[in-house]
Amino acid sequence: MNLEGSRVLVTGASRGIGSALTTEFAAAGASVVLVGRDVAELEAVAGRTGGVAWQADLADVEQVHALVARVEAATGPLDVLVNNAGVENAGDFVEQSAAAVEGTYQLNLLTPVALCRQVLPGMLSRGRGHIVNVSSLAAFSAFPGVAVYGSSKAGLTQFTAGLRADLRGRPVGTTIAELGPVATGMLARLMEYAPTSDSFARLYRLGLVADVQPEEVAQAVVAAVRTGRRHVRLPRRTAVAAQLASSPRRTTEWLLSGVSHQQAG
């Protein structure tokens, strides 16, 4: 996709990966709509990227409802949706409140699904679009303390694979970004829970993971949207594990190649 003159919506855009994504898309010539809760931080990023700050609590079902329609009415049609917003929620599952568990699934899984459902009709009618969903190494690896977070991201990864099957042969692409540790505040909060921190420390010592900078993620995601690549896997040393985890899905895709996934007219 040619991003020059396109319009991109990035959720969780006020800091970390979201801020880096906004900067990179703007540098590619896109107009960016930044969605998040913190108005001051959103406006700061919007000010240096020429974007539009849009305040919304994406964990609130009512605020998510018809969000895309409101944004498009104010700014114009969206060409790219980047579901980046998420919450980490690390800790012993039996000690987590029902509200914390439900909030994690809402923000990490149900909100991205809802925004995809909202944006797709317009993209399909215009014959142009791309969706990026930001997932995690925890989607295909089991670490103590991240049962809820990991399963929310596993759901997002599986949803994106199924959505890609639905969209086969149609003019909207998808990219799933499966990320290991990214040097942000979210990673720091995950590491506050000792069992999770100890698990990652062992992987660091074995050289199986390494921290990635938000700017590297943003560059890879923008390149994927430009070229239509369906996976971004960082750090690259985790790519083999991600490929093994996705092998049943890839096998199914191969077995069903040539089968129409659209309803007959």
- 183 vs 84, which has greater pLDDT? 84
Tokens at 85, concatenated? 């917003």
Q: Are 88 and 149 in contact (CB under 8 A)?
A: yes
pLDDT band at 262 (very low <50, low <70, confident <90, very high): low
pLDDT band at 105 (very low <50, low <70, confident <90, very high): very high
From the candidates 105, 149, 193, 204, give the one annotated as an active-site residue.
Answer: 149
| pLDDT higher than 70, residue 33 | yes
77-85 mean pLDDT = 98
What local confidence, expressed as pLDDT, does residue 258 receive?
A: 64
Residue 216 has a CB neighbour count (10 Å cut-off) of 16
Strand partners, 161: none
> For this structure, is 193 an active site residue?
no
Rounded to an integer, what distance in angstroms lies between the CA atom of residue 254 and that of residue 216?
31
pLDDT digits (tens, 9 = 90+) for 39-67: 999 999 999 999 999 999 999 999 999 99
Provide the residue ranges of all domains of the chain, joining segments of one domain with +. 7-250
pLDDT digits (tens, 9 = 90+) for 152-206: 999 999 999 999 999 999 999 999 999 988 878 777 777 788 888 888 888 888 8
Q: Picking from 76-80, 199-203, 260-264, which range would have the lowest pLDDT averaged per residue?
A: 260-264
Residue whose C-alpha is closest to residue 233's, from 248, 251, 212:
212
131-136 mean pLDDT = 97
| pLDDT higher than 90, residue 236 | no
pLDDT band at 116 (very low <50, low <70, confident <90, very high): very high
Q: In this structure, which amino acid lies at residue 171?
A: P
What local confidence, expressed as pLDDT, does residue 252 receive?
A: 80
What local confidence, expressed as pLDDT, does residue 265 receive?
A: 34
93-117 mean pLDDT = 96
| pLDDT higher than 70, residue 264 | no
pLDDT digits (tens, 9 = 90+) for 217-227: 999 999 999 99
| pLDDT higher than 90, residue 229 | yes
pTM of the model: 0.90
E strand segments, the chain? 7-11, 31-36, 52-55, 80-83, 129-136, 172-179, 231-234
What local confidence, expressed as pLDDT, does residue 110 receive?
A: 98
Look over the chain and give the mean of its residue pLDDT values, rounded to a whole number. 91
* CATH for 7-250 (3.40.50.300, 3.10.105.10, 3.40.50.720, 3.30.360.10): 3.40.50.720
Q: In this structure, which amino acid lies at residue 234?
A: L
What local confidence, expressed as pLDDT, does residue 259 receive?
A: 60
